[in-house]
Amino acid sequence: MREIVVGAAQMGPNQKSDTREAVVARMLSLLDQARDRGCTLLVYPELALTTFFPRWYMEDQAEVDTWFESEMPNAATAPLFQRARDYGIAISFGYAEKTPEGQYFNTQILTDREANIIGKYRKVHLPGHSEYDTERAFQHLEKRYFEPGDLGFPVWRTQDALVGMAVCNDRRWPETYRVMGLQGVELIVLGYNTPSVNSQMSKEGLAERLYHSELSMTSGAYQNATWVVGVAKCGDEDGHPLMAGSMIVDPNGFVVARAETEGDELITHACDMDLSVFGKETIFDFDRHRRIEHYGLITSQ
């Protein structure tokens, strides 16, 4: 059996004043728990090392830069990589990346079980806006601080499976899953920071928002016969609530593990990668059944 024991390391809030070192200490504690539960891959949220800073409007680029990492691993995250290597647990987490060329991305990385970075993904679907919006209850300035990802949706062979990544809002777009599905993806790992309330529609409640997150991930899993692991950063962050709802979804679209709290919490599942084979060889055998002559609109506008 091709098995990956996956841990979804849901994280409670990171406050603006929290140091990277304090956050990494919590990530290490989740890593210890993952070791005790036999995980071979541990997935942390989007922007795991900091608060969700795009809620704050900033004009001073030097201030913006304080939320970005210009190398990975770096001094603050080195202990995480070291312990992951000691335990033989692959890790995946999100952070704000500043490149040597001065580009800014909302990035997630994937390591092998020796803590070598084997994959990098840069968030393609950036939600929100780029200028201060007086109409919103709070700001969501991802379009101000990040450029759209420039790496596409690659998949990597690791732990005898094909693994891909996505970040937060990407999980709502069928194209995210399908582009990886077309490469045979068997496990998609993604992190998110999703406000519990809609900044533009106060009537939309938490239950509806949790449902849409689950709907996106379960349908993406089913329609591409792949495991999907969605991991939240959640709770009251800088006075702004982020929703939880971390889950592990099997290739039939069923939730097999679900977080119950809005804090640091590990959920795990021994994921059988062969569970994706039946769907890929039958109803979602893309080579046999897709009719791409009718799909042109998807990429032409």
Q: Which is nearer to ligand CDT, 146 or 284 (CB)?
A: 146
Q: Determine, following the binding rule CB under 6 A, whether residue 172 of this chain makes contact with ligand CDT.
A: yes
Q: Which is nearer to ligand CDT, 164 or 191 (CB)?
A: 191
User: Taking Cα atoms as reference points, which of 237, 263, 265 lies closest to residue 54?
Assistant: 237
Active site residues: 46, 123, 168
The residue range among 107-115, 165-173, 245-253, 272-280 that interacts with ligand CDT, by the rule CB under 6 A, is 165-173
Q: 121: alpha, beta or left, given left = phi > 0 and alpha = psi -120 to 50? A: beta
Cβ of residue 40: shortest distance to ligand CDT, in angstroms?
A: 27
Q: How far apart are CA 227 and CA 220, in angstroms?
A: 9
Torsion of CA 38, 43, 45, 47, to 10 degrees: 120
Cβ of residue 129: shortest distance to ligand CDT, in angstroms?
A: 8
Cβ of residue 180: shortest distance to ligand CDT, in angstroms?
A: 18
Q: Determine, following the binding rule CB under 6 A, whether residue 107 of this chain makes contact with ligand CDT.
A: no
Sign of the Cα pseudo-torsion (14, 15, 20, 23, in order) = negative
From candidates 194, 218, 226, 246, binder to ligand CDT by CB under 6 A: 194
Q: Determine, following the binding rule CB under 6 A, whether residue 193 of this chain makes contact with ligand CDT.
A: yes
Q: Determine, following the binding rule CB under 6 A, whether residue 220 of this chain makes contact with ligand CDT.
A: no
Site for ligand CDT, residues 18 to 77, rule: CB under 6 A: 46
Binding mask 112-131 for ligand CDT (x = CB under 6 A): ---------------xx---
Q: Determine, following the binding rule CB under 6 A, whether residue 192 of this chain makes contact with ligand CDT.
A: yes
Q: Determine, following the binding rule CB under 6 A, whether residue 190 of this chain makes contact with ligand CDT.
A: no
Calculate the CA 155 to chain-centre distance. Answer: 14
Helix axes 174-181, 206-224, angle to 10 degrees: 20
User: Taking Cα atoms as reference points, which of 193, 199, 267 lies closest to residue 232?
Assistant: 193
The residue range among 68-76, 88-96, 168-176, 217-225 that interacts with ligand CDT, by the rule CB under 6 A, is 168-176
Q: Determine, following the binding rule CB under 6 A, whether residue 176 of this chain makes contact with ligand CDT.
A: no
Report whether 88 contacts 101 (CB < 8 A): no
From candidates 140, 144, 178, 233, binder to ligand CDT by CB under 6 A: 140
Report whether 133 contacts 143 (CB < 8 A): no
Q: Which is nearer to ligand CDT, 168 or 244 (CB)?
A: 168
With a CB cutoff of 8 Å and minimum separation 6, the contacts of 155 are 162, 163, 164, 180, 183, 184, 185
Rg (CA), the chain: 18
**Whole-number Cα distances in Å, 2 to 90, 269, 284:** 16, 13, 20
Q: Which residues bind ligand CDT (CB under 6 A)?
A: 46, 127-128, 140, 168-169, 172, 192-194
